[in-house]
Structure 1
Amino acid sequence: MSIYENQILESDNENLDLVTLQRILWISPDNTNIVVIDITDNKDMKLPFFRTYEDIKYQIESGRERTIEIDPDLRIIFPYDEYLNKYKLERDEKWGIIKDIVVQEPDIYFSEIRGKLIKEVEEKTGKAKKEIYKYLKRYWFYGKSINGLLKNYFDCGAPGKEREISKKTGPKSKDGNEFIVTEKDKENFKWAIKKFHIGEGKSLSKTHQLLREQKYSSGYYRKFGSMVPIVVPEKAPTLRQFLYWYQNEYSFSAKYSNRHGRRKATMDTRPLVGDATARAMGVGYVYEIDSTPADIILVSEDRKTIIGTPTLYIVMDQTSRFIAGYSASVGNPSWIEEAVALENAGTNKVEFCKQYDIDINEEDWPCYHLPKYVLGDRGELKSKMAENLLALKVDVINTPSYRGDLKPFVEQHFNKTNNEIRELLSTVGAKPSKPKQRGEADPARNAALTIYEFNQFMIVQILTYNKSALSKGFFVSREMFEDKVGLTPLEVWNWGKSKRLLHIEPRDLIRYSLLPKASAKVSQYGIEFDKRCYTSELGIKEGWFESKSIDGERNITVSYDPRNVSSIFIRKKNGKLVQCFLTEKFKDYENLHIEEAKAIMKYKKDQLFIKEREELQYQAELHAYADSLAKDAKGEVKVATKDMSFYERNKNKRETKKSESRTFGSKNAWTAIETIEDGNGKTSLDEVVEFPSSVNNLSMEQNKINGIQAQFASKIKERRRNNESLE
């Protein structure tokens, strides 16, 4: 750490508010003592004082003080030539008075010696001691610069501050209006601008008129059934005063925003001094990504239903304009759809194109790389799941709202793509660039392509674009010129991808990192996630579910694809990725979207809630019947055991239990015959339907058996009443 003359030290308090600024004036040859002067306030200049070298060094190293590079008084130390020429003679006169004593360092910094030196100058020049001290302070305050003796007129006249006036300046108005604008009037002006000019789109003159009617009326009168304000011009600000305030209050961009809106002002009034390419250090440094509805109407796979426009994501290298990846789907813009496009950019295109029956060579689309940065809108990339990109060594740059100009190349490519769709696919559902007018043909009537066929078109369109000539606005660097690089996105990409700004990651890691994450629990039923259970062969082999943990953790993080709940991914501590599948119990959920699975679970929850509420009434019926049954039984027991002791009730328990068992079993036996007891306590047979038979003796035998059974049943009941045993 070096400390030198004219260095400025800054110290703050605990709230980071400036406390002092000190300028170093002199350092002793042995680096032990330092002379400093406080330069915090130029209206109260102080004399210099001593500090030790070690103290300053300690304060800087501990962070209590720090050095600043920019001198706060440069405008007086290095003034404009016009200012210097105007006050140079007066400066030189002051310098001639003190020049012989300021060089006597360090004596001039000791008060006793300084007093004697000043007295000598006073006697020699006749200048008052007070003036000499003033010159010395100014000389030291401004860093021992002779220009510090210049008069400081820079702050004269209160530049940037409004003057308070009590009388209207300038010539008198023809209408005699002597109105003076006050702070309260300015608040009224702001209110009117916000309400009428910005809110309702009124012109400034109309805004001024409405302002006077609503804020400066002297009364009202009735006309046409309405209250009409009375405006006295002499008691209200003039249009000229209002416009003068407006021109000084708002910048050009603010005025443009008031008139046309903030979004248009941001796009139209910004300075065009930069270029998106200049922000990229080379091929693979920044990928631009964005989405748009493609201008075509698709049909379902069975061609029967019109399903609307697809969502198209494009991933473009900012330097080469090379399309590194894309995705097209019928889903709405979302993080998962954007993740599909990023995964496509970072994986092999030969395998991808085969899924759509298109055979290419690797050199036709040689991109399976990830960039250093991804630049996108505040929508999907602002979500928490964008943090997953950091695991892939990719950082995120989000553009501000309504600033599509910060990713211009992918925006321009959308225009090019939709133009080609309208030109080449006009007979199969391409949409016009302008909204359909009344009476015009509906493009949906011609819709014929499926999402599969649209993906085929997009692959061929991208391959064609990557081999096409770059736009005339493309910047050719000196290095490109020296290497004679062909000016197509593909050739610039091949030339620049060797700069090592790109990197490659395995497909499984890309998917694991890009997919949304959630917490899951390991149990004996499997990995429980979102009310579903998953398992894997490795888990069964390693005994995850017996120990209810993976690598010692019961609660784990899983990656899932909301488009299909058939499987999830987990990452073990050793970095290995494991795909887990639904258990047998939940196999019925295979290939369902997560929203479909949630709909089933919601149906279950709602149904159980409804049935549980209905169950309360059924339980009430059960409780009422049980109470009634218990009450009647207790009454009958009380009557039946009126003269019996508890001991007598327990007598012959075993025999009685056997009797009850036989009686109950006989009564409920499948071979039992229903009998009816008459009023005399005797049992008679219920209606018996005889089967026709030619053998009379069988019928007689059956009747005999039935009579015996009836008698036996009658005796059993009689014995029970007498509390007797069957044996």
Structure 2
Amino acid sequence: MIAINDVFESLTESAPFERPARVLWISCADDFVTMMTIEEPPAPPWHMPLSELKGAVASGNVRPTKVRTSSFMLQSEDELSSEQKTIRQKNWDRIRPLIETSFAGEIYYPHAMGRLVAAHSKATGLDRKSIYRLLYRYWLHGATQNAFLPKYENSGASGQPRVFVKGKLPGRPPKYLGELSDTRAKILTDEDKQIIKIGYALYRDNKTKTITDAYTKTLNRFYRVEHPSPDGTDDDTRLKPAGELPNIVQFKYWGKKAYDEISVLRGRSGDRRWAMNHRPLVGRAHDRLHGPCHRYEIDATIADIYLVSRYNREWLIGRPVVYVVVDVFSRMIVGVYVGLEGPSWNGARHALFNAFSDKVAFCARHGITITEEEWPCHHLPQELVADRGEMLGSAATGIVTGLNINLAIMPPFRPDWKSIVESKFRLLNQLTQVHWTPGGVRTRMKERGERDYRLDATLDMEKFTRILLKSVLHYNQHSRAPGRLSKAMISENIPSTPLGIWNWGIEQGMGEPNVQSDDAVYLHLLPRERATLQARGITFKGMHYLNPLDPDGMTAAHARAFGRRAIDVWYEPGTVDYIWIQAPDKSLVRCMLHSTEGRYRNRRLEEVLDMLEITKQTEAVAHYADLNSKVQLDEFVETTIATAAAEKKESQVKRSNAARIADIRANRALEREAERVIAAKRSPVATSRPELSDRPARSTDGSAKTYAGERSGEVIDLLSRLHERGGLAK
């Protein structure tokens, strides 16, 4: 199937075009297609027979391909400044009358563009070249309003050396006591920069303590008027004039450009300290509808059931919020989301992301195996109908400008204006039998004395999601409504199921999928939060992820050496197994959960956050027991110290401080011998052989014999008896 915004490339010389081209318009009735070659500067659109293009694709001469979205367009709505939004809106307003004509696609028909542009130029006073330039830019970049964002990344001269006008010196004129000084910074030559690189290496290699010391040595070696005399006398050291010297700021700037922070840290630390302290740690309604994908409806409801946590079945987590996205033409449920986020944009964006994603992988993540044919929905719509509370705000309007989806906001208290999705809630309640599931909310009033149904909650978030997915698959494949069949469908014996109507519409070319890049979908729909780059990789919500943009570990080493720094991450709340980060070219890269984070794997973000919050809390009884134990410990320490102080005062003999200190070794020897005697008496061997206790204590230490003389055994025996009676503090 060929759709608007598809890109095709030639494979053979017999192909009808040489370079990749984008489809701008398709007219099945007139058998032509309007295309535009992907090149800079853009060339005017051209036409060819639709049948010829289909034949080239069927024969293999032409195949569909993808073009990466330009980096200047990969910005979410809240990242744009008011100036950028103004420029975008101004350029869009200039060509909007040519795109949104009363006759759909009028400008794409042969010989119509020149006439329309001329009339528009005359009516608005705009130059025709400017109008053509805006039109070509709009079509070249996928026919989205973000094509008119300014290309700031192409401005300036990033990384290029600055060239100063002759006679103009760099820097602010220095002042002293309020008066300007004639001394200015020098315009560095290539020779100066090479000298600075040599001098800065002194600091990098740890040969100087500070950068200032390296700067001083550099001036002493390379910027003197004359060299020292041969005999070594150099009393009058003179530097060149101040205007011929690089200043300390220039020395630091060009030194850091020559050596990055990691190489400096490694040079100053040495290989041993680097390996020990700084190395990196190693360790994802029918009216005016043309067909499927024309209009989607989205809405949310709070499910009539209470759930429990997968971490602990005793933890009640309340009632989940269920989002449903429905294709109005076929009544196909194209996306669902179950979470704890209340009806808001943060919840709606996850349902839309699911609607625009592959369902085979999504169901497999929840343990359900399906084929592509059972749920073939991963398309973006042309229009989206939603509530005010979920889609008002700059974040939500990003899907209009970034994904080219027309947003229709319904007024409050008018659910009938999106009756298709509202009816699906009643149907899903019946299919899931949610009211009669343990923990389900009964429609009748609870009588006095009846058991609280919330205490019967049994299902967790994952099991409830599986039940809901099975119900959606059953509805899409088996829910029949013959009143939705048209005359053409009846003549072709099309089943009146949502899946049957969807497939028929796609096969007939009635579908109008809105083709956008995966990066654009991720950027505008996935929630974004701040994470940190740390020594173990990327840390988000207390979980660690691998960083594929840091294969050599230098970013992790930098974080370990100089501290963590913030980074934007995009995540999918349905799983914590992966997140996305933005590469230097603005594309999104998936980061997998670290292998050490096993307790988080295959869990939802809400479950992880609830578990962490609950496990941090302490019961009142445990808190009181902890406090009581601390008080008893404090009382025991104070009592023991007071008793020891009193015993010391009673047994204290008047001796000099020097004598007391001199006897430490002898006292230690006696105490050790006494401990040995006590240990021998307490052991099972000593109890079974009482004759050992009758033997006189024998000192094996020369210091003990020196202290007690020939009676050292009696002294040790006395010490051991005092220990047993508690009369001597140990």
* TM > 0.5 fold call: no
**TM-score scaled by length of structure 1:** 0.41
Instruction: Work out which structure has the larger RCO, using CA pairs closer than 8 Å and 6 or more positions apart in sequence.
Output: 2
**TM-score scaled by length of structure 2:** 0.41
- Higher-Rg member (1/2): 1
